[in-house]
Amino acid sequence: MKTFCGRANPTTGALDWIEESEEYDYHQEIARSCYADMLHDRDRNEKYYQGIRAAVGRVKARGERVVVLDIGTGTGLLSMMAITAGADYCYAIEVFKPMAEAADCIVKKNGFSDKIKVINKHSTKVTVGPDGDMQERANILVTELFDTELIGEGALPSYEHAHLHLVQDACEAVPHRATVYAQLVESEQLWSWTQMGPVQVEGRTLLPPAQLGQCAGAPSVCDIQLSQVSPGAFTRLGPLCTMFSVDFSRRVSSAPQSHSCRFVVHTSGRAQVILSWWDLDMDPSGTIVCSMAPSWTYSDPRSYPWRDHWMQSVYFLPAERNVCEGEELTLTVSHDDYSLWYNLSDGQQTGEEETSCQPCICQAHLVWTRTRFGELNDRQRRATYLRALRGILQPDSVCLAVSDGSLLPIFAHLLGAQKVFSLENSGMSKRVIEQFLDANSLQNKVRLLDVRPEQLSTAHLDGQQISVLMGEPYFSTSLLPWHCLFFWYCRTALNRLLCPGASVMPASATLHLLGVEFKDLWRIRAPCGTCEGFDVSVMDEMVQNSLDFRESREAEPHPLWEYPCRALTKPHPVMTFDFQQCVPEQPIISEGSVPLTRRGRCHGVVLWMEYNLTDDITVSMGLTQPVSEEGECVWCPHRKQGVYFFRDMWESSGDGQAAVSYSLTFDPSIGDIKMDFSASPSRVAVMETVH
C-alpha cells in the first residue's frame, strides 16, 4: 500500500509530498540500526555467552529444568546461545515486528524452533499461564536492554515488571549486575559544548546572556566515543567514583533515586564536566566483565573493544565552580526511569536532591546542538569569519544574515555596517539572539525578522535594498553537508532585493570527496554472515532489501572526528555551487574518478562542503588539515560529514591503477544529490565479517 507523506525539505525549505510504502519506516529502521554493530561486537557476544553458560550450569546444578526469558532478543542470538548452553526452553521477546520476524526466521534456520518461542510483544504485555504467552515463569533472565546511559531504553521498568510477573523469585540473571562510574573533570573543550564564553570583536567583549550561564543545559545525555577525546583535553579533578550498582537478579525498582559518592579533590581547577560509563558483570562473582570504559583507561589501548551501540557519556554540571586540592566534595547522581543527571555539593547527601532533571530555561540549548555551541566558541573559526566580513563591509552596507541563531549580524554591526537585519527561521532562535542583543545593549542595532525569504520586502528593510547577504551557513534542520544549500535557495528567493553588485558571503561552496579506510566504523554496515557459530545472514538480506528499497542508496551523516580513518585517495573537489547566481533550473552533473594512491581497504567515500567566504578565505566543514603522509585525517568537529558505504569493500594496492569512479547529480527541484560509485578499472570484492 502506498501513502503520501509530507516532509520538510532541509535544502529547499519546501514541504515535499513523498509517495512511500507503509513499510518505509521499517526498512529505514533496519537499514540504519545498530544490529550489525552489535553482532560484530565480539567482546559483548563472548561475555554474554560465558555468562549464559555459567547461569545454565548453576541452575542445572540445582537439578532444575532451565527456562530462559530473553527480553529484547533482536536477532535471537542470545536465545540460541542459551539453548546451545543446555537450556531446556527459551522465550524470546521482541517488540519491533520486523525484528521479531527476522528472529523467528533465524531461529528456524539454525534448527532451534522447537525450543525457542519468539513473542512479538513488549515484555510488559507478556502473560504467563496455560493460555498465556509463556507456559511457566523463567528461572534465567537474559536481557540486552541497555543504551549508552544504561537505563535509557526503559530497562528499569522492564526489569521491574519481569521480576513481578515473568520470572521466579530466585532467578539467575545475565547480566547479573551493572555498575555506573563517574569522574569529575575540567575541560575547556567539553565545557564549550554547553556554555558560551565571552566573544572579542573589534576591542569589544560580547557577553553571553546571564540566563544562559544559569541554565542546567540540555536534558539529554551527550553520548560520544570518549576514546577519541585526548586525555590532554581534560584534567581529572578527582578519583573515578563508583556511583551505584543494579542487581538484575533481584526485584528492580523504577522509582526515582539518588546515589552519592564522597571524595577528596586531587587537583585544583574548575569543576565542569562528569565523564561516565558502566560495566556489566555477567556472573555473580564478577569474573566475567563487559566494560564500557574508554580506551585510555586500558594499559594496552589496542585491546580496547570498539563498539558504537554503547559508548560513553558526558554530563555537564548546572554551573562550573572552583575546587581546591584536598577539598571534600559529594558527587550525586539521580535518575528516573530513563535518564541520569549529576550534581556536585560540599556536604553529605541531604535527601533533598533534585528528583527530576532540570529543563533548559535559556532556550539556547534547545536551539543549538552541543557541536553548534562548540562551533560558536571556536576562536579560529570566528576570526576567519571576521576577516571575511572586514573585506566586504562598507560604512553604508545594508546587511541581511540568513542562518539559524547566528552571531554574524552582531559582528557586522560591530564592524561598522550601516544597517543589519537577520532572518530567523524559528521564533525560539529569534528569542535566543534577542537575549544576546539585550545582554550587550544592542537591541536597536540589529533587527531580527521572522518572515520567510520569499515574503521579505523592502518595507521590512526600511525601503532599502541588500548590499551584503551573509550566512555561515548553519541551519538546525541540516543533517547532510548539502542540506546547508538552503542558503542558496534563500539567496535565490531574495534576488529581487539585492542591489547591483551586492556581496554574497559565502560566495560559493564546493563539495569534496575522499576515499577512505575506516578503522572501525565499517563494522556498522558490514555483512553479519555467522556470529558465534550461528547463521544470522537473514539480517544481511533484510538490510540489503532495505537499502534497495529506493532507487539509489544514500549517504549517511557521521561526526568523523569520533571515527578514525585513513585516506586512500587525495581530497577531490567534485561539484561547485555558485551563490553569486540563483539556483539553476537544470541539474548539475559531475562525473569522474579519483585514483586510489594508498594501500588499504576502501570502505567508502566521505563527502563534505568547503565554503568560499571570499575569493581567498575558505572554511572547511570536512578536513581541517592536510592529509598526513600516512593518510591520517583530521575532521571538523562541529559538523557531520556525509559517508557513503560501499556494499563490498575495495582492495587498493596503492599504485594508482585502480580508482573510485563517481557520478553525482544535484537535482535543484528537490535539493538532493543522487550518487553512484564504482571501482575502475577493476575491484576485488571481499565480504567483511568479524566472526
Query: Of 146, 149, 75, whose CA–CA distance to 112 is shortest?
Result: 75
- Per the structure block, which three cell numbers stand in for 331? 558527587
Report residue 245: phi and psi, to 5°: -125, 150
149 in catalytic set: no
Report residue 255: phi and psi, to 5°: -70, 150
144 in catalytic set: yes
3-state helix, strand, coil in the chain (%, to 5): 25, 35, 40
CA angle 152, 154, 156 (to 5 degrees): 110
Strands 269-281 and 222-224: unpaired
Q: Which residue in this structure is represented by grid cell 600516512?
A: 630
> Which one of 94, 144, 320, 556 is the catalytic residue?
144
Give the other-Cβ count within 10 Å of 133's Cβ: 17
> Which one of 29, 64, 101, 153 is the catalytic residue?
153
Q: Are 416 and 398 in contact (CB under 8 A)?
A: no
Distance CA 208, CA 217 (A): 14
DSSP code for 458: G
Strands 508-518 and 572-578: antiparallel
- Using CB atoms within 10 A of its CB, is residue 203 exposed (0-12), middle (13-18) or buried (19+)? exposed
Q: Which residue in this structure is represented by grid cell 535518564?
A: 339
- Using CB atoms within 10 A of its CB, is residue 580 exposed (0-12), middle (13-18) or buried (19+)? exposed
CA 117 to chain centre: 34
DSSP code for 523: G
**CA dist list (Å): 198 to 290, 439, 440:** 42, 12, 11
Distance CA 225, CA 562 (A): 6
Helix and strand numbers, DSSP H then E, in the chain? 15, 37
Positions annotated as catalytic residues are: 144, 153
